Amino acid sequence: MPPDADLNWTTEQAASYATDAGIPCTPAQLEGIIANLPGLGPSGRAPSGPQGGRGRYLYPTAVLMDLISLNARWLIPPRDIPPSVLDPLAPPGVV
């Protein structure tokens, strides 16, 4: 789905699009960034799904794409860092 397909996306849609474009990220990462930015709030809610309940928050697509591009260097782990450094739960000595 191209970024201009809708004016608003959920963090799941934005993370999926970014991952397909080569910037692997998760909805949780985007939500963590959003939670730490004062003044950035949702622009609405998506419709509820077949199970009912509240829909996911919607954010302007352009804002989500900007967040991903500006934070890409922290979302993508550097290739030359051992996995043990990137994963704090890895057992000692794992490289």
Question: The tokens 């860092």 sit on which residue?
Answer: 81
- Read off the pLDDT of residues 7-57 as tens digits, 9 standing for 90 and up: 899 999 999 998 888 888 888 888 888 888 888 888 888 888 788 788 889
When divided into structural domains, the chain yields a total of 1
Query: What is the average pLDDT across 68-92?
Result: 67
Task: Provide the domain limits for residue 46.
Answer: 8-86
> Is the residue at 46 inside a domain?
yes
> Is the residue at 92 inside a domain?
no
Distance CA 7, CA 26 (A): 20
For residue 58, how many other CB atoms are within 10 A of its CB? Answer: 19
> Is the residue at 72 inside a domain?
yes
* Choice among 4-8, 29-33, 66-70, 71-75 with the minimum mean pLDDT: 4-8
For residue 13, how many other CB atoms are within 10 A of its CB? Answer: 21
